[in-house]
A and B are shown apart, each in its own frame.
Chain A
Amino acid sequence: MLDLNTSLAIRLNDLVVGFGDKIVIDHLALDVVAGEIFGLVGASGGGKSVLLRAILGLVPKRQGRIEIFGVDRDSANPHDLQELERRWGVLYQQGALFSSLSVFQNIEFPMREYLDLSPRTMREVATAKLEMVGLAPEDGDKLPATLSGGMTKRVALARALALDPQIVFLDEPTSGLDPIAAGEFDALIRTLHQTLKITVFMITHDLESLRTVCDRIAALADGKIAAIGSMGAMFESEHPWVRSYFRGDRGRSLLRRAAS
């Protein structure tokens, strides 16, 4: 049964994912607390996206258990699965907007599929979402191909939030944005997190977003969680990869800025 009052939004246990001979996720265990902003870091090609796709059910797992709000995909009935898919939103790295639909139609798509609403209400709620992610109603009639990178991300976020999900998965939300736009996007995630009371699971490389947005951070190395906790815990970790990531040049300068 889908349990929205549980304290754990995501619960991974002994998860193994691999392709051919290669084990990408190796007996991984992870809990994401409901209502937090959880950041996942890891080397490029280190399996972050694979982990996300495994959680979403897009790649098969070899072993282990994935529970989201108490629903295990393996044993859940179709109704619960539908209910679950309605309760999550995903922001893909490239936006993954439907290129033949306008911005409004993209945002209204999940509403059309899941809810029984009048066209007027759908358009008004879509406009509200669009304004909540910082775009103007005039942008609603544009086609995705004509949007800039930052706008694409915002529209994709609006679409991910279309059904007021309990949890959103963000795959590198600030990659490809300039520092100002990235900062604004971080602030947007924070505000929406507060107003909509959602759990956020984000993959990011952006040390600044990790510092300003995330409540808890996990570092993925060699298919396992190498370190987990606050930003402070990351700086204290002795794991070699985590050390070079957070205490490298960029990490140190960030720490200095944070301190001053």
Chain B
Amino acid sequence: MKPEALIEFKQGADGLEIVGSGAWTAANAGRLDALVEAAPRREERHVKFDMARVREFDTYGAWLLERLLRSCGKDLVSPQGLPDRFRALFDKVHETNRRGVSPGIRRNWLLGGVEKIGRSTEGAAEDAVRYVAAIGAFATALGEILLNPRRLRFTSLVYQLDRVGLRSVPIIVLITLLIGAIIAQQGIFHFRRFGAGDYVVDLIGILVLREIGVLIVSIMVAGRSGSSYTAELGSMKMREEIDALRTMGRNPIEVLVLPRVAALVLALPLLTFIGSMAALYGGALVAWFYGGMDPGIFASRLSEAVSISDFEVGMIKSPFMALVIGIVACVEGLKVKGSAESLGAQTTTSVVKSIFSVIVMDGLFAMFFSAIGM
């Protein structure tokens, strides 16, 4: 089927005649747009319009007609023959786009790059201030709770403990068990070549208790619980719930942040312990089935290989990891602005930042412990 003609340009002796017909609607807007653009420019000559045969007309048709009129320099002339039922719409559209859309400011790409660096530096500085302020506010709230323990939101604390502690046990046990098993398998496989297969127990024991247990658990908690803290606080911020709390004279740090961070600080050592045990268990299973080491021998070698200080090193680190994860998650959550996009961006930032901080902290702790000889 041949599409109907929408517009015709008739070159007459006394000037240009523009004849419109058919449906000047959204469905034909693309075609009409091209036709209007292709219109001969005849500003100086006489232009006549005949719109009587336009059957349908909507805002798109009205705007393209208006654009055609303006391009012909006939701004003040109305299109002859436009059926009356379309007149009101045309008059309405005729009034629009008068001021012209201001073009966006064009930026030099070099200056733009410098500007970006400047802005992110500024952002980093603001962030540093924000984090110091958050730690301060958290410490103040904690101090007030310690002076007046009845202000502690016990229900909220228990609820958060359940969420971030108890409910993450299955996944943490599963992952750490697998990691322990993988380390044991690799250890046995490589140590065997120089007949030192039994030393895999030392490897697993020290590695898991000192480093892997706490690291894996912290990273998982940052991904699992830190992200949900950020998303929760962020959407509360978006819906003005935080402001509502504040106007009721309640400090959001005390009501929302403190129970969450406290729950993490309590839960993470427990999870670290459970995770470390699961990793050792996974290692023992692999040593038994793959390395042929009896579980009894594994246990007795383990008790020789590791000292209590290895265990302590892992456990001492865990509440600090929890503190970092909790504070990063809450600060990023409170930074959320109005849009859904910013909620997503802050949640990502929260997870990336907390995992990064956990690993940096772990490095600092390693230096500290070797300096004090633990």
* Chain A residues within CB distance 8 Å of chain B: 86, 98-100, 114-118, 121, 123-125, 127-129, 131-132, 137-138, 140-141, 143-146, 161, 163-164, 191, 194-197
Whole-angstrom distance from the CB of A146 to the nearest CB of chain B? 7
Chain A contacts for B101, CB-based, 8 A: 123-124, 127, 137, 140
Q: CB-CB contacts of B43-82 with A at 8 A, as 1s and 0s?
A: 0000000000000001110111001000000000000000
* Chain B residues within CB distance 8 Å of chain A: 25-27, 29-30, 33, 58-60, 62-64, 67, 85, 88-89, 92-93, 95-97, 99, 101-102, 104, 337-342
Check if A121 sits within 8 Å of B64, measured CB to CB.
yes
Chain B contacts for A143, CB-based, 8 A: 338-339
Known: A115-B29, A115-B30, A164-B25. A132 touches B338 (CB 8 A): no
Chain B contacts for A115, CB-based, 8 A: 26-27, 29-30, 60
Known: A125-B59, A137-B101, A196-B89. A116 touches B96 (CB 8 A): no
Known: A116-B30, A137-B101, A145-B337. A128 touches B88 (CB 8 A): no
CB<8 Å pairs between A and B, sample of 7: A86-B26, A100-B341, A117-B30, A131-B97, A132-B93, A137-B99, A164-B25
Check if A195 sits within 8 Å of B25, measured CB to CB.
no
Chain A contacts for B102, CB-based, 8 A: 137-138
Known: A117-B30, A164-B25. A128 touches B338 (CB 8 A): no
Known: A164-B58, A194-B88, A196-B58. A128 touches B97 (CB 8 A): yes
Whole-angstrom distance between the alpha carbons of A121 and B338 in the complex?
Answer: 30
Chain B contacts for A194, CB-based, 8 A: 88
Whole-angstrom distance from the CB of B118 to the nearest CB of chain A? 22
Q: Which 8 A-B pairs have the closest CB atoms?
A: A145-B338, A100-B341, A99-B339, A164-B58, A116-B30, A131-B96, A128-B96, A195-B88
Check if B25 sits within 8 Å of A100, measured CB to CB.
no
Whole-angstrom distance from the CB of B39 to the nearest CB of chain A? 14
Chain A contacts for B30, CB-based, 8 A: 115-117
Q: Which of A118, A141, A195 contacts B89 (CB 8 A)?
A: A195
User: Which of A98, A140, A197 has the most chain B CB within a 10 Å cutoff?
Assistant: A197
Chain B contacts for A144, CB-based, 8 A: 338-339
Whole-angstrom distance between the alpha carbons of A27 and B99 in the complex?
Answer: 53
Whole-angstrom distance between the alpha carbons of A237 and B42 in the complex?
Answer: 64
Known: A128-B62, A164-B25. 15 other contacts (CB 8 A): A99-B340, A99-B341, A100-B339, A114-B26, A115-B30, A117-B30, A131-B95, A131-B97, A132-B59, A132-B96, A137-B99, A141-B104, A143-B339, A146-B338, A195-B89
